[in-house]
Structure 1
Amino acid sequence: MKNYDYSAIEKKWQKYWEEHETFKTDVWDFSKPKFYALDMFPYPSGVGLHAGHPEGYTASDIVSRMKRMQGYNVLHPMGYDSFGLPAEQYAVTTGNHPNGFTQENIKTFSKQLKELGFDYDWSKMIATSDPEYYKWTQWIFKQLYLDGYAKYIDMPVNWCEELGTVLSNDEVIDGKSERGGYPVVRKNMKQWVIDQPAFAEKLLEGLDEIDWPESTKSMQRNWIGKSTGVEVEFDIVGGGEFSIFTTCIETIYGITFMVLAPDGAITESLLDRVQNREEVQAYIDETKKKNDMDRTELNKTKSGCELKGVTCINPVNGKEVRMFIGDFVLASYGTGAVMAVPSHDQRDFEYAVAHNIDMIQVIDGKDGHIDVTDAAMEKTEYLGKGYKLINSEEFTGMTVEEAKEAITVKLEKMGRAKRTVNYHFREWIFARQRYWGEPVPVVHTENGIHVLDDEELPLILPELDDYKGKNGKAPLENATEWKQYDRNGIKGVRETSTMPGSAGSSWYFLRYIDPHNDKEFANQELLKHWMPVDLYIGGPEHAVGHLMYSRIWNRYLYDKGLAPTKEPFKKLVHQGMILGENGVKMGKRFPKYVVNPSDIIRDFGADTLRLYEMFMGPLEVSKPWSQSGVEGAKRFLNRVWNFFTEESNITEDNNGALTKVYHQTVKKVTDDYEQLAFNTAIAQMMIFVNAVYKNGSCPREYAEGLIKMLSCISPHIGEEIWSILGHDDTIAYESWPTYDEAELVEDTVEIAVQVNGKVKAKLNIAKDEAKDKVLADAKAEESIAKLIDGKTVVKEIYVPNKLVNIVVK
């Protein structure tokens, strides 16, 4: 028996793979079916990998290795989402260019990934901060602008003075920046945006065509938030007008107040007319400290302020309606105003109770009245289909369905309404007042915006003496010479905002296919062959961020004839989180439970780490780390090593003793790998190894089949045993083991033996055995014979291959 020196073996094969470029993909080889596996690429932080990273990466690695053995041409690349705030803060703190910091981190990450034995094609590595890459990010942005999807508009944003930049909603927590905890306020700024709503319908349709978790599809549908309804125009007493959007036009006679966005244009136009301006202005200022999430989903207080002295007119009955501002109404969503019908909407009801506003019931309820006590707060609901209108003039007595149409027609004839579709989806804010991001390839001139010519790309970031913005301005404002543009008779100032971190990650899956092309972002023939991505694995936290942005960019390129598929990712799987041994997320709060994969590799080996993480439980669920589990995984690999490296244990003949369990194992492992059910695949291989030990020997064909399957999970030990079994080449391109369906059929079955309907014994019989033989064997079984001895057998029941029931008295 050879010594299992995992450290030496793993180094040996990692060196072999690198020197032989074992996993380099010839993307122009169209002779085989393709398989494109992709991991959500990491941000190369200075901390390096943690134990959660290898889980998803190992899963894609296993499938890639199996597919390669099954004859597929496999593309499995890796790269880095390398623009971002941590590198920028490093630059601000040290005065050093963030690229050096980023490159060092990339080296660390790459070293750790190679130590784990992943089958990445490193020749196709990309980094979003590489000018060779972001040239094409800029080029795609340029096309978006020329086609009217990228816009430069004035809009409310989350502004952090201390960081000197705009922040996205998910970067703001309780009115403060997620990074640093600095105050954030809402303010209007000229801002680059991508028109996401323009893609809403196509994105909704696309969700029906892809194999994604239903929970993720649901989150995207909700985020897009399609609503079909009516936009109604209201006059403001004393002059002016505004519109609201509603899906419940049949309740319009129940309006008792209006709520406007505090920071919206409608409110601003009314400030000089309100009688309580100081109170209103204070509420507006307070609202600007909150992000959209705080103002909507997290809003529990129903805070607000009346615009005293200002009312509007309900167009269906001419009645005056009080007007309020409330922070749950967003200027950037819909019209920035909502009609409130407290009798038939929970939010409106709670707001009306909080502000002592009248209610008018307009849909007949079961008890015919509205209860405004605190106890009823959770009971108020919209009374819909099948109910009839009350207190609604000529529409009283109509059903909700009838009234919805009739009231819409009346308002249309009055010229006060139009049918429309609204989306929760809003513009994607596409600029940051930061240094470490893609420069926006435009110039501001006296005549408007000039986009750079293709030959001027990439527009490379200049080096600065000071990477921190000043007086609310972007760091690139410090690049005095770089800012000035004078070319071909065009003079102006470059845009000094940079793109958000999500820009480069919105199309990287296309660039991997042809990463060194300097003529186009990727060759069209290659894209047609390789897209879509067959398997995409990553965390669920990206459901409405990265995954949505990627779909938008891909769909835009598809519509433009530059991407071959409507959807970029055919199958998506979210891996669960690996928790600390205390069952909570690994992190700064519980540092002693943070597991460094390099430590596990040092003490147990990469193969053990990979095997353990796949055996912990279903890939999609979160599970706690267990040191004893790691030790168990190591023991199993030791058992495999001890048996299959002993020449005398491997036989050239086959006595059939392992035939059934081997074919069962090949089938289950193959099926489980396809379904990403790695824990049960490993369990089946353990069953086979136990059978091998019990048998004392193993036919060569079965030994090699097991090592092929195991090598997908633990590739180093797989390669080493493969070589010990007499092979000179890598196992990576060997053919996948097959199974015979005929060998899966069971010869015997276990049946239950009952006495008077109660199970008293189990009996193994030949499958489809004759009834008389089964009954005789059942009655002869020792425990059954005792129970029926001296008693009269009334009836004997036999359900073939399932049970025997002997009725006695």
Structure 2
Amino acid sequence: MSTTTPRTPTPAPARTRAAHHELEARWQRVWAERGTFRARDDGARRRRYLLTMFPYPSGDLHMGHAEVFALEDVVARYWRLRGYDVMNPVGWDSFGLPAENAAIRRGENPAVYTEANIATQAATMRRYGVSFDWSRRLETHRPEYYRWTQWLFLRLLENDLAYRATAPVNWCPQDRTVLANEQVVGGRCERCGTAVVRRELTQWFVRITAYADRLLDDTRLLDGAWPARILAMQRNWIGRSAGARVRFDVVGGGSARSVEAFTTRPDTLPGAPFLAVAPESPVAAELCSPDRAEALAACRQAALDAGEIARTTADRAPVGTFLGAWVVHPTSGERLPVWAADHVLPGYGTGVVMGVPAHDERDARFAAAHGLPTGSGETWASVDDAVARLERSGRGERATSYRLRDWLVSRQRYWGAPVPVVHCPACGVVPVPDDELPVRLPELAGEDLLPRGRSPLASPAADAWRRVACPRCGGDAERDPDTLDTFVDSSWYFLRYCSPGADDVPFRREDARPWMPAARYVGGGEHAVLHLLYARFVTKVLHDLGWVDVVEPFASLLAQGQVVNRGRAMSKSLGNGVDLGEQLDRYGVDAVRLAMVFAGPPEDDVDWADVAPASLQRFLARALRLADDVAAAGGAAPAAADVAPGDAAPGTRAHALRRTTHRTVHDAEDLLERDRFNVVVARVMELVTAARTAIDAGPGPGEEAAAHAAAVREAVETVAVLLGLVAPYTAEEMWERLGHPPSVAEAAWPAVDPELLDEETVEAVVQVDGRVRDRVTVPADVDADALRAAALATPGVARATAGRDVVRVVVRLPRIVNVVTR
């Protein structure tokens, strides 16, 4: 290997769009032919299940998809290199409103739009090089899938976990359908942004509240494995409150003779001057005197129109009315007025609370607005003392309340799994027998899909589908016209992946056992309450029914940030949208993937305006030239292995390069386990520079050429293996040019020689707010104070912190410093 003559590297020309496509298509064919990414599922290796939140098929993939797929593929490829049998399946959450609204505009069935988008996205996914196991592919809109979604609903129904009830619900006037509480954000539809109103409708609910304690308590199993903020959101949404129920005798008013109030502060009972009731609660109607009925109706409608979120905000004038009823204070005997108050929510506790303005800000605002007394502010010694007094007097007892409400699952839209029951005049609600599933959607299109205030499946266009014989008595009956919320589809899809193609069961317990829980779930934090809570609930139900062995579906969670542009979410109206396809054509897949991973820690937002895929394209070209130089020197791939590690004598250039190579692998392993993927990229860049320097400089005086060549080959092979985590096409090209058979994805994680890890000095990476800004060389045994001082003195940190306050400096000895600014 001739490495004695330094040369000046020439920049490689940027690949054309055609060249990108040709290279990418070639390796896609190789992976497909070899079945490189199929889970073997044979028990020969330890298994790990990697799961990505599956996309909705609306148009092509966008920049957010590009980020999540790049990040999750780092994990998948790393695990394979470590010797795991990895299941990394792919699918689409393909029911839902966008496809239905598009079909109405186009005059077609939603399946046409949906399947065209799936085909487009699938092609982009394959091009993007994500190591999915395509043999496990699923789409939730296909009857072979939603048959089992309907089966799941029937299991909930037969176990008293699904029920039909008339209740105030969230109604989106734009999409003309009901929304679950979790789908209302700031009083608006999370899908279209329209202000949500309240209506009373008969709907299907799932009794998720029956699992409230387990959903809350089991979050302890996820501490340290899920992001703390996600767990906090789950806990807050469940909202368990300990307190007491207090019974009051009613004087006057309507038909009620007694009423119970829930309070978290029973010790404040002595100073309570009034009772407040949710206007839409049935208790309000029972308490209301006939002459106050009209005032209650107006108050009730105002509360429904406002929505639950707006009613509890501090900047809104509190609405209420006196109900013409009084209650007797259980200890003082004083008569207290009873008011309907819209800051009281019907589902919290009993829908009745003690008004204690001296101790509650919302009660104080309400009292001030309606001229009510504020009370004495007197309290008992403690909550426990208060509960004991109530229990001794028979006027109350300890109780628990929850913020969580039962899951509203029925939708008045077409594009979803039909609710699998029929309504029979003689038999009532009758489940469709399992052997008659799936209840298939009828073929409707265009204007027949318009809701018009009811489900399209209740319209004349669906008469033939809707009219059926009762499965129980054989008489005339009708199918339920509602469809199931798409979150029911996604509440169990990760289990279907374990038994692809099963046609007799939704999944087999013996198939799920070695894979579940999923070792890693990757997706956006926007599903912190919605999907994740429902998936946890369904897993617990299936565990109780004997279908799965686990009580939590996802052992760990990686929640990535957003991709923004110029500091703002990408939007056509803002003119800052970025087209993924155009970026792939211009820079190639590898450069875009590398940009996503290198931009910062996964949990941080990526501002596309700040990344430089063109420079990363040049870096990839430099890495590829390393393989060309090694190959040009001659010799088959194993030749360098004939040189023992000890042949690179200490103090030689070869020995220094080997130290850099082995330290890079050692550090990369630690960084990957901690999701510091961006720092791994930085270390690979350093190794590329070290290998380039070694090639150009050649062996040092008295150094054996063979030992130098072996060290160079080892470094370049290591670059190919590590680069394969992020830039698979370039890595495959390098691996092939180095003389290895495909595929680098099937290689082993490089072994590390511990003797090569001892160093006198190390190079520490210095980050500012998670982004690499400089590097500093320090003694290997540097202490935290010295490394902190050295990092803060670097020019890169000075530039990045100019005009900003340094609020914290995080030191991870001896190689990482992160400066946090404000």
TM-score category (smaller protein) = 0.7 to 0.9
2:717 alignment partner in structure 1: 704
2:205 alignment partner in structure 1: 193
User: Which blocks of at least 5 consecutive residues in structure 1 are unaligned?
Assistant: 364-388, 390-394, 751-761, 769-800, 802-809
Match of 1:10 among 11, 24, 33: 24
CA distance in 2, matches of 1:175, 1:77: 36
1:688 alignment partner in structure 2: 687
Amino acid of the structure 2 residue aligned with 1:33: R
| Per-residue deviation, residues 751-780 of structure 1 (Å, max 9, x unmatched) | xxxxxxxxxxx9999999xxxxxxxxxxxx
Match of 1:634 among 608, 617, 621: 617
User: Is 1:247 paired with 2:227?
Assistant: no
1:39 alignment partner in structure 2: 52
User: Is 1:455 paired with 2:454?
Assistant: no
Larger mean Cα displacement after TM superposition, 570-579 or 88-97: 88-97
Question: Which structure 2 residues correspond to residues 583-594 of structure 1 after superposition, within 5 A?
Answer: 583-591=567-575, 593-594=576-577
Amino acid of the structure 2 residue aligned with 1:293: I
2:414 alignment partner in structure 1: 435
| Per-residue deviation, residues 488-547 of structure 1 (Å, max 9, x unmatched) | 633321111110010110001111111210011112111111101011111111111100
Question: Which structure 2 residues correspond to residues 58-137 of structure 1 after superposition, within 5 A?
Answer: 58-137=70-149
Report deviation, 1:90: 2.0
User: Is 1:52 paired with 2:64?
Assistant: yes
1:386 alignment partner in structure 2: none
CA distance in 1, matches of 2:216, 2:193: 36
Report deviation, 1:55: 1.2
Report deviation, 1:181: 6.1
Secondary structure of the structure 2 residue equivalent to 1:38: strand
Q: Provide closer, same or farther for how the CA distance between residues 740 and 520 of structure 1 changes in structure 2, counting only shifts above 3 A.
A: same
1:720 alignment partner in structure 2: 733
Please tell me whether Structure 1 or Structure 2 has the larger radius of gyration of its CA atoms.
1
CA distance in 1, matches of 2:190, 2:602: 29
Secondary structure of the structure 1 residue equivalent to 2:333: coil
CA distance in 1, matches of 2:295, 2:633: 87
Report deviation, 1:15: 2.3
Q: Provide closer, same or farther for how the CA distance between residues 763 and 412 of structure 1 changes in structure 2, counting only shifts above 3 A.
A: closer
TM-score (norm 2): 0.83
8 Å contact 2:287–2:323 — kept in the other structure?
no
User: Is 1:477 paired with 2:491?
Assistant: no
CA distance in 2, matches of 1:324, 1:626: 55
Larger mean Cα displacement after TM superposition, 75-84 or 199-208: 199-208
1:289 alignment partner in structure 2: 305
8 Å contact 1:650–1:700 — kept in the other structure?
no
User: Is 1:739 paired with 2:747?
Assistant: no
1:226 alignment partner in structure 2: 240
| Per-residue deviation, residues 695-732 of structure 1 (Å, max 9, x unmatched) | 12653222212201111110011111111111222112
1:572 alignment partner in structure 2: 557
Report deviation, 1:134: 0.8
User: Is 1:411 paired with 2:395?
Assistant: no
2:474 alignment partner in structure 1: 490
Aligned length: 716
Report deviation, 1:477: 0.9
Report deviation, 1:148: 0.6
Amino acid of the structure 1 residue aligned with 2:265: C
CA distance in 2, matches of 1:157, 1:493: 24
Q: Provide closer, same or farther for how the CA distance between residues 308 and 506 of structure 1 changes in structure 2, counting only shifts above 3 A.
A: closer
Amino acid of the structure 2 residue aligned with 1:726: G
CA distance in 2, matches of 1:588, 1:730: 40
8 Å contact 2:276–2:355 — kept in the other structure?
yes
2:324 alignment partner in structure 1: 309
Report deviation, 1:362: 3.7
Report deviation, 1:103: 0.3
Amino acid of the structure 2 residue aligned with 1:439: P
Residue identity over aligned pairs, in percent, reads 36
CA distance in 2, matches of 1:292, 1:262: 12
CA distance in 1, matches of 2:715, 2:457: 64
User: Is 1:26 paired with 2:40?
Assistant: yes
Larger mean Cα displacement after TM superposition, 480-489 or 266-275: 266-275
8 Å contact 1:439–1:459 — kept in the other structure?
yes
| Per-residue deviation, residues 601-624 of structure 1 (Å, max 9, x unmatched) | 101100000111100011101131
CA distance in 1, matches of 2:46, 2:78: 13
2:671 alignment partner in structure 1: 672
TM-score (norm 1): 0.84
Question: Which structure 2 residues correspond to residues 654-665 of structure 1 after superposition, within 5 A?
Answer: 654=648, 655-665=654-664
2:502 alignment partner in structure 1: 517
8 Å contact 1:59–1:676 — kept in the other structure?
no
Secondary structure of the structure 1 residue equivalent to 2:664: helix
| Per-residue deviation, residues 569-604 of structure 1 (Å, max 9, x unmatched) | 000011011110x1111123323x211121111011
Question: Which structure 2 residues correspond to residues 765-804 of structure 1 after superposition, within 5 A?
Answer: none
Report deviation, 1:199: 0.6
Match of 1:335 among 350, 367, 370: 350
CA distance in 2, matches of 1:161, 1:735: 56
Q: Provide closer, same or farther for how the CA distance between residues 39 and 702 of structure 1 changes in structure 2, counting only shifts above 3 A.
A: same
| Per-residue deviation, residues 406-450 of structure 1 (Å, max 9, x unmatched) | 433333344331222211111000100110011111111222221
Amino acid of the structure 2 residue aligned with 1:454: D
Q: Provide closer, same or farther for how the CA distance between residues 252 and 626 of structure 1 changes in structure 2, counting only shifts above 3 A.
A: same
1:558 alignment partner in structure 2: 543
CA distance in 1, matches of 2:130, 2:330: 67
CA distance in 2, matches of 1:93, 1:765: 67
User: Is 1:154 paired with 2:178?
Assistant: no
| Per-residue deviation, residues 648-691 of structure 1 (Å, max 9, x unmatched) | 46883553230111111011112212222111001111111111
1:784 alignment partner in structure 2: none
CA distance in 2, matches of 1:488, 1:247: 48
Report deviation, 1:165: 1.9
CA distance in 2, matches of 1:467, 1:133: 25
CA distance in 1, matches of 2:44, 2:504: 26
CA distance in 2, matches of 1:617, 1:269: 59
Secondary structure of the structure 2 residue equivalent to 1:250: helix
1:795 alignment partner in structure 2: none
CA distance in 1, matches of 2:197, 2:685: 58
| Per-residue deviation, residues 368-399 of structure 1 (Å, max 9, x unmatched) | xxxxxxxxxxxxxxxxxxxxx4xxxxx6xxx3
Question: Which structure 2 residues correspond to residues 318-467 of structure 1 after superposition, within 5 A?
Answer: 318-363=333-378, 389=379, 399-400=381-382, 404-445=383-424, 446-464=426-444, 466-467=447-448
Q: Provide closer, same or farther for how the CA distance between residues 459 and 125 of structure 1 changes in structure 2, counting only shifts above 3 A.
A: same
CA distance in 1, matches of 2:400, 2:235: 15
Report deviation, 1:180: 5.6
Secondary structure of the structure 2 residue equivalent to 1:502: helix
Secondary structure of the structure 1 residue equivalent to 2:310: helix
CA distance in 2, matches of 1:242, 1:468: 46
Q: Provide closer, same or farther for how the CA distance between residues 188 and 242 of structure 1 changes in structure 2, counting only shifts above 3 A.
A: farther
Q: Provide closer, same or farther for how the CA distance between residues 477 and 643 of structure 1 changes in structure 2, counting only shifts above 3 A.
A: same
CA distance in 1, matches of 2:441, 2:723: 47
User: Which blocks of at least 5 consecutive residues in structure 2 are unaligned?
Assistant: 1-9, 649-653, 699-710, 764-775, 783-813, 815-822
CA distance in 2, matches of 1:174, 1:542: 16
Report deviation, 1:340: 1.2
CA distance in 2, matches of 1:119, 1:493: 46
Question: Which structure 2 residues correspond to residues 255-274 of structure 1 after superposition, within 5 A?
Answer: 255-274=272-291
Report deviation, 1:278: 4.5
Secondary structure of the structure 2 residue equivalent to 1:574: strand
8 Å contact 2:467–2:478 — kept in the other structure?
yes
Q: Provide closer, same or farther for how the CA distance between residues 243 and 687 of structure 1 changes in structure 2, counting only shifts above 3 A.
A: same
8 Å contact 1:156–1:332 — kept in the other structure?
no
2:583 alignment partner in structure 1: 600
